[in-house]
Amino acid sequence: MKHIFVINPAAGKTDASSEIQAKLQDFSSSFDISFYETKSHGDATEYVRSVCESTAEPVRFYACGGDGTLNEVVNGAVGFAQASVGCYPCGSGNDFVKYYGGEKRFLNLEAQLTAPEEEIDLIRVGDQYAINATHFGFDSCVANVMNNVRHKKIIGGKNSYKTGVIVALVKAMKNDCAVVADGKLLNPKGKILLCTIANGQYVGGSYKCAPRSSNRDGLLEVCLVHPISRLTFVKLMKSYQNGTHLDDPRFTSHIVYCRAASVSVTAPDGFVYSMDGELYEQGQFTVEAVPRAIRFAVPELQK
């Protein structure tokens, strides 16, 4: 098997390229290892796809960066039977690997090279895929702010999500759209605070938005929050962050939770939604679960 480390030098606080290559030197005689540094937004998808189109040999691509890098690698590899995906989480946001317990498990490069693979679901909107989550409303505003402040001091980096939340509390408390899950309208009043459609469990670095999510059940985890006051939002935010909101009676009148194979959204033109932090504008779109769409390398837990 070929092992290709797709490194985003702009991810995280520092360029991890040299560190990754140095750590893998000891294994170069035993494994077919190569490296590719991305040059711009979208480059990882184009590179991975081009490799898959040129070889029928088994190949595993390791996304070295944050969730955005992982998203690009997945979009390049999906649909190619010989390709699988791994993740070396060195970005400012590493939400998807928290599904498996966190970053530490994935930072052991020796374990990565021998990691077994799982067939996992993906989320699809049109011809774009997400591995972790798709969301809109309040969360899309947060994602937009995060993209703008990610590399700034104090308000960026690990604090990007908190910064986004503060801005969204001013701008995005009530959003017009209709959300239909497997034929059922979830918000008859036509407004939401936010809606998260998840395959993983976390967004924003530490917010366990979908604590019951399974990435191998062929279904989307849908959590819609009706508009609430800013005071109520602040009171409930800690429970949402901890992932206890689905069992918290204070949320009963505020959320609609379900699992669905397909979610259709109708909204005004220019409506923004996020896929693994990547933003798109569209008034009407359908979010679909794609069962067992890709193989994902999950390192063995080290004793």
Residue ending a domain, choose from 54, 84, 115? 115
Q: Are residues 273 and 153 part of one domain?
A: yes
Q: Each residue's pLDDT tens digit in the chain (303 positions)? A: 999 999 999 887 778 889 999 999 989 999 999 999 999 999 999 999 999 999 999 999 999 999 999 999 999 999 999 999 999 999 877 999 999 999 999 999 999 999 999 999 999 999 999 999 999 998 888 878 887 887 788 788 777 878 888 888 888 899 999 999 999 999 999 999 999 999 999 988 888 999 999 999 999 999 999 999 999 999 999 999 999 999 999 999 999 999 999 999 999 998 999 999 899 999 999 999 999 999 999 999 876
Q: Are residues 68 and 24 part of one domain?
A: yes
Sign of CA dihedral 141, 214, 82, 104: positive
The pTM of the full predicted model, rounded to 2 decimals, is 0.91
Residue 154 lies in a domain: yes
Predicted local confidence at residue 148, as pLDDT: 80
Q: Are 17 and 37 in contact (CB under 8 A)?
A: yes
Q: Are residues 105 and 42 part of one domain?
A: yes
Residue 121 lies in a domain: no
Predicted local confidence at residue 301, as pLDDT: 85
Predicted local confidence at residue 126, as pLDDT: 97
Residue ending a domain, choose from 50, 80, 115? 115
The whole domain housing 72 covers 2-115
Domain containing 99 — which CATH number? Answer: 3.40.50.10330
Residue 122 lies in a domain: no
Residue ending a domain, choose from 115, 149, 176? 115
Residue 213 lies in a domain: yes
Predicted local confidence at residue 160, as pLDDT: 82
What are the E-state strand segments in the chain? Answer: 2-7, 32-37, 59-65, 83-89, 117-125, 128-130, 133-137, 175-176, 178-181, 184-185, 191-192, 194-198, 220-225, 255-260, 262-266, 272-275, 278-281, 284-297
Predicted local confidence at residue 165, as pLDDT: 83
